[in-house]
Chains A and B, each alone.
Chain A
């Protein structure tokens, strides 16, 4: 319980840091973001939008910084993230909500698949240390994960999507699909569009899980209790899964939670390549259009979801590792 309270305390501080960073960055940035925006829009911007932006970023205002900070915190508590410039006058929160679902679904499923597959491969690789499998698969996967992600993704897009035409190459569903109501054909359409992005994510992230699990498992394999289990004549399968792998998986689980941040970051590139209408693509477009309120809002949402995922992993750790529950 003490552990639990300490973790909650930690996440409150982490959340506060993310929120504060979000407040400070636009104010510390060189130049005037609002003027940049006005310049880029070539006068096509609503004066009210300029006023709102200046208020949000603390430009041309006599309100002291600390007062701005507290009104910013107050707005956040009410879910007010400002108005998007690109989609003016839609609130940032509305824009984000309509995109976040796609990223969560795709990235979530792909990372869980990659984690499970990579961990299993790691278990096999460690169990057969020095075998041909162990000599070839880890370096090969490492090479795959050293390729810049977008590069690999573009290859898949070109060959599997464009040349062979096996998979759709753009979006999360067909333009012709009827999205007004749920139907089985819509589900298949969405799944069909998700295969290629998911496949590329799994391929580049597999190596990390595999090598991590392999190394952790080599440590547990040399423990006496594994030798003891073998001496007792337990089946190979039982020794491998219940004795060696079970004790080796904990670091990988912590790694999984921490990796979510990287994965969400990676989704920006994935979604830009596949034009997938998720939050990463939204961030990319927001950056291109200098839609600062939207950029700020998306960063906050990403930070929040990564913190939440980490918190879940902590709870899982609590269940899996009795040593934490002192």
Chain B
């Protein structure tokens, strides 16, 4: 039983050598993956900075906005001024207030859908990868079916039946239709972890499956989980915005998607740029901040992506 050697039994000379190597290798690997080792790239930190800005605006911005962002006034389609920093809508609502208040709902619903999808993908991926056998067959089948059944049309069909009284139906729909890809990635990663020595050791130590899956395997896959969470969140934000833009959400809530919906439906898209530009720009910046963070996380998951170009190739390419 080679795996007992990692616990320091009484092995012969040569196996001990290999087991020591193995142990240091695993130690290195664990140190590399489990420790909060943050990427150093400028892109990653730019993304973090941008995201923090949006979170701060969403959390504390409403404190500085007085009055109802949906309140009508007589200033219809007023251009940006000191009184209305970003002008007003057709019905005289202040665009700046809507933008700040809308940040909260947009971020919250995006992240909520990301959390739902990631939780599902972690459970499905890790459990099916670790358990194997018929459980794996069944869970993989479900995952693959969700992967090939087109999510966006399904989301639109579902949202046409659900009454639009709040944003949460859309959040659930987006979360439930977007977990499969993450589950597939995590399953294949779990398969490579399953037979590692430290997992075998936990097994022999009498740990139950739940603990092995969520306390031994998951910490080692945290970078992949984070990356799939961010990816899903981007997709969720974009889907939510698009569904709102089509008028399939709760059109009375203040969110960036709804601002775009009203701006487009008022027919003033081209004359009142201050109404249509800001929410879309904010979505684009928010989306790219998350994408930049993902670039950074990718370099942890896969060190080959780090910016160390091979010298030889550089020379040859320059010739």
Q: Is the CB of B152 within 8 A of A236?
A: no
Once A14-B149, A265-B153 are accepted as A-B contacts, the answer to whether A142 and B242 lie under 8 Å apart by CB is no
Q: How far is the CA of A21 from the CA of B298 in the complex (A)?
A: 36
Once A13-B141, A147-B287 are accepted as A-B contacts, the answer to whether A287 and B241 lie under 8 Å apart by CB is no
> Which residues of A (252-299) have their CB < 8 Å from a CB of B?
258, 260-262, 264-266, 268-269, 272, 283-284, 287-288, 290, 292, 295-296, 298-299
Q: Is the CB of B141 within 8 A of A10?
A: yes
Q: Is the CB of B149 within 8 A of A215?
A: no
Q: Which residues of A contact B247 (CB under 8 A)?
A: 288
Q: In the complex, how many angstroms separate the beta carbon of A194 from the nearest chain B beta carbon?
A: 21
A145, A222, A290: the one within 8 Å of B304 (CB):
A222
Q: Is the CB of B304 within 8 A of A151?
A: no
Q: Which residues of A contact B150 (CB under 8 A)?
A: 260-262, 264-265, 302-303, 306
Q: In the complex, how many angstroms separate the beta carbon of A310 from the nearest chain B beta carbon?
A: 5
Q: Is the CB of A236 within 8 A of B316?
A: yes
Query: Contact residue range for chain B?
Result: 35 or more
Q: How far is the CA of A128 from the CA of B286 in the complex (A)?
A: 29
Q: Which residues of A contact B161 (CB under 8 A)?
A: 25-26, 29-31, 33
Mask for A134-174, Cβ within 8 A of B = 1, else 0?
Answer: 00001100110111111100100010001000000000000
Q: How far is the CA of A141 from the CA of B310 in the complex (A)?
A: 24
Q: In the complex, how many angstroms separate the beta carbon of B231 from the nearest chain A beta carbon?
A: 10
Counting CB contacts under 8 A, is B302 at the interface? yes
Q: How far is the CA of A162 from the CA of B308 in the complex (A)?
A: 46
Q: Given A218-B305, A261-B150, A265-B155, list of 9 further CB < 8 A pairs? A: A14-B144, A131-B317, A142-B288, A146-B286, A146-B290, A151-B284, A236-B317, A284-B246, A303-B149
The 3 closest A-B pairs by CB, nearest first: A265-B152, A146-B287, A261-B150
Q: Which residues of A line the B interface, CB within 8 A?
A: 10-11, 13-14, 17-18, 21, 25-26, 29-31, 33, 127-131, 138-139, 142-143, 145-151, 154, 158, 162, 215, 218-219, 221-222, 230, 236, 258, 260-262, 264-266, 268-269, 272, 283-284, 287-288, 290, 292, 295-296, 298-299, 302-303, 306-307, 310
27 A-B residue pairings within 8 Å (CB atoms): A11-B148, A13-B141, A17-B149, A21-B149, A25-B157, A25-B158, A127-B317, A142-B288, A143-B291, A146-B234, A146-B284, A146-B285, A146-B287, A147-B284, A148-B238, A151-B260, A221-B313, A230-B312, A230-B313, A230-B316, A264-B153, A265-B153, A269-B242, A299-B154, A303-B150, A306-B150, A310-B148
